[in-house]
Structure 1
Amino acid sequence: MTHTIDTPAGTSRFHSDRTYRSSSPGRLSSGVLPPVLAFLLFLPAASVPANDSNDVLPELIDAEITSTADGSLQPLRYCAPESAATEPTALFVFLHSWSADYRQNNDKWLREAAARGWIYLHPNFRGINQTPLACGSPAARQDILDAIDFACREFQVDRERIYLAGVSGGGHMAMLMAGHHPERFSAVSAWVGISDLADWYHFHVKDGQPQKYAQMILKSLQGAPGGSAEIDHDYQDRSPLFHLHRARDLPMDIAAGVNDGHTGSVPVSHSLNAYNVLAKIQSGEVVRDYEIQELRQQRKLLQPTASDRRGDPTFSREILLRRETPHSRVTIFEGGHESLPDAACQWLSGIRRTALP
């Protein structure tokens, strides 16, 4: 479908229903309109109203790039401000959730990126987590790096502002990329993510029967934890908890709603355990085991620390726990299996760190 976007007087009006196909990694085929001509002019802002009926989002453009892992064509969606063709511009990479692919509607996050004048990139990384090539596989991880390389070739990406974020399964993948490739990102924000696939598998086995998410893990990992040394190695390779020790200098924002694991699918312990790996290597304040249990079972801390009580005006929820390192932070807030895009993007926008090619 073609969408026509109304723009203020004095700016240009664009519309596009084109799909851009690349025959080599990141390259657009000849004979098509360069995608930069189809982009809207974004006006940077600190934040955007969550429910503005007059708000018109920029149109996402479909593209395909060739995987450097296996040569397959991999889809993605993206958009950028006109100025990204000539001026250094932040790149915001957002990762879809566990049961979705690059076509997932993530308008709340797109809105935040557009308001700040960022390039928005939405890769597929092998789609829904129910095949061996999905769910954090080496090929899926390479797809994200290939997508970033595509954006860096097509636009003037500011390498001090390459931001990565994701929610749920996207939070899992954001933390996994932070652990495997910390040098490629300026900062990472992960919400309600899974940090240990084996632990999450067991959480979703009821009365000895694998439930929905456990079944999807079995399809991806080709067996249950403990099935063989090879399977266990694969679980660890795809679980952020075993790799975040490499993110020694990488700023990371980890967050979860305290009710997740009760009304949602991912217990808060996944976020807290991931943060504790960072706290140990970044000389930060750890979350004690008994505090993790209090938050999981009682959904509150019996003795919150000064940092837990400090509050944060960028969060629209009560904060129940906040711990920090010199680079990173973890937040448990009053909520469930959800994210707060404005809070995440406000934090990301304050980070400058050179990301390597």
Structure 2
Amino acid sequence: MKRLHCILILAGFIFSFISGGIAVKYYSNTVWGIYKKIFVWDDTSNHSWPDSYQIVSIKSTNDEQSQKAYFHKAHSSQKPLLVSLHAWSGDFRQDDPLASIAMRYDWNYVHPDFRGPNRSKDACLSKKVISDIDDAIQYALDNGAVDLENIFIVGESGGGYATLGAFLRTRHKIKAFLAWVPISDLVAWFYESENRDSKYADDILNCTSNPKDAVLDIKGAKERSPIFWDIPTNNNGRLEIFAGIKDGYTGSVPVSHSILFFNRLARHYGHSKSEVGKSDIIKLVTRGISRDNSSGKIGNRDVLYSKNIPQASLTIFDGSHEMLHEYCFQRLQEIAEQGAAPDSSSD
């Protein structure tokens, strides 16, 4: 009887172990699947593109290297052009939800590679990157049916970082730039990432420093950080910055990157009274901001905080490290229907 009792206990233990293993495996796969659906912009493994999109090759005017891009030509004449920039770890193949929306509304669209993932010195807002983005725009102008008054550059995370760079240095006439949860300061982001044991710290070293030394080259990092770049005298289109209040907690880029870049623009353009004040910065970074229902929504998300000057705007919404792509395209349509890029809000 004692032997039977032991066998039953052992059998129960084995069953529990197997069941638990299955449950853990199922749970892990389920959570990862949900994660990828929510944070689709971080899923660089998804290469799903509409059939009407073609892969094109564009020769660099900087070094004659060829970059690939996904391109869609509008069927009607004189349609807007959407230049969508891939995320930090992505390349031109990375799935972009904006692509299917652009096709739905028959817009011209290009999704360039601009030296691929940000883990080499050729990438990460090098001169070659800015040149590649400009070359992709020129390709779309030469091969699309583009309304020259309605060219837009959009990106999220690393794509938002590249959008800030294009805002400051593109040679093209752009109507508006929409930067979602962007990185603006590689020096700050390196230490933020290092303290989280994030791979992005190694990426930044590979882009800016000698990775064997494992020491950040501050000068090299600043040279690739839009917050330290000169602001052009003639403003090239309106910049709208969007950041989720939870980013930096559930996401990889603290909202301070968006706030401080906006503040620099406000000071430069003579609107220092519109800067985000120190007390508000603390509240936003610590998520201690109170909700105000009068601030409205973007898409289905509450706007928690906003600032606006004629050249740029800052919107902090209830979210994390993400782009609200349906709202993003809706905002582009609103701007396209105006004679000039309008203010999205008021202080």
> In which range does the TM-score fall when normalised by the shorter chain?
0.7 to 0.9
CA shift, 1:239, in A, is 1.0
Aligned partner of 2:319 in structure 1 is: 335
Q: Residue 182 of structure 2 aligns with which residue? A: 193
Name the residue aligned to 2:231.
Answer: 245
TM-score (norm 2): 0.76
The residue number in structure 2 matching 1:111 is 100
Residue number in structure 2 paired with 1:212: 199
Residue in 2 that maps onto 1:169? 158
Q: Partner of 2:92: helix, strand, or coil? A: coil
Instruction: Name the CA distance, whole Å, in 2 between partners of 1:281 and 1:182.
Output: 20
Please show how residues 15-94 of structure 1 align to structure 2 within 5 Å. Answer: 57=50, 59-83=52-76, 87-94=77-84
Q: How many residues align?
A: 286
Residue type at the aligned position of 1:109: L
Q: Is the 8 A contact 1:165 1:174 kept in 2?
A: yes
> Unpaired segments of 5 or more residues in structure 2?
1-48, 342-347
> By percentage of residues, which structure has more helix?
2
Q: Deviations over 1:116-149 (max 9, x none)?
A: 3211100000001111101111101110000011
**Within 5 A, what are the aligned runs for 1:125-204?**
125-181=114-170, 184-204=173-193
Please state whether the residue corresponding to 1:68 is helix, strand or coil.
coil
Post-superposition shift, 1:309?
5.2
When normalised by structure 1's length, the TM-score is: 0.74
Given residue 54 of structure 2, which amino acid in structure 1 is its aligned partner?
I
Within the alignment, does 1:100 sit opposite 2:90 as a pair? Answer: yes
Residues 108 and 145, structure 2, Cα contact 8 Å, conserved in 1: no
- Aligned Cα root-mean-square deviation (Å): 2.5
CA shift for structure 1 position 81: 2.2
CA distance 1:114–1:294, shift in 2 (3 Å): same
CA distance in 2, matches of 1:162, 1:73: 23
Structure 1 residues 236 and 182: CA distance shift in structure 2, 3 A: farther
- Equivalent positions of 1:252-263 (< 5 A) are 252-263=239-250
Which runs of 5 or more structure 1 residues have no equivalent in the other structure?
Answer: 1-55
Distance, in Å, in 2 between the alignment partners of 1:176 and 1:245 is: 10
Q: Does the 8 Å contact 1:309/1:321 carry over to 2?
A: no
The equivalent of 1:27 in structure 2 is none
| CA–CA separation in structure 2 for the residues paired with 1:160 and 1:179 | 19
The one-letter code of the counterpart of 2:185 is: D
Q: Counterpart amino acid of 2:178? A: S
- 1:306-348 alpha-carbon deviations (Å, 9 max, x no partner): xx65434543111111111123211111111111122222222
Counterpart selection for 1:234 from 208, 217, 220: 220
Partner SS state of residue 141, structure 1: helix
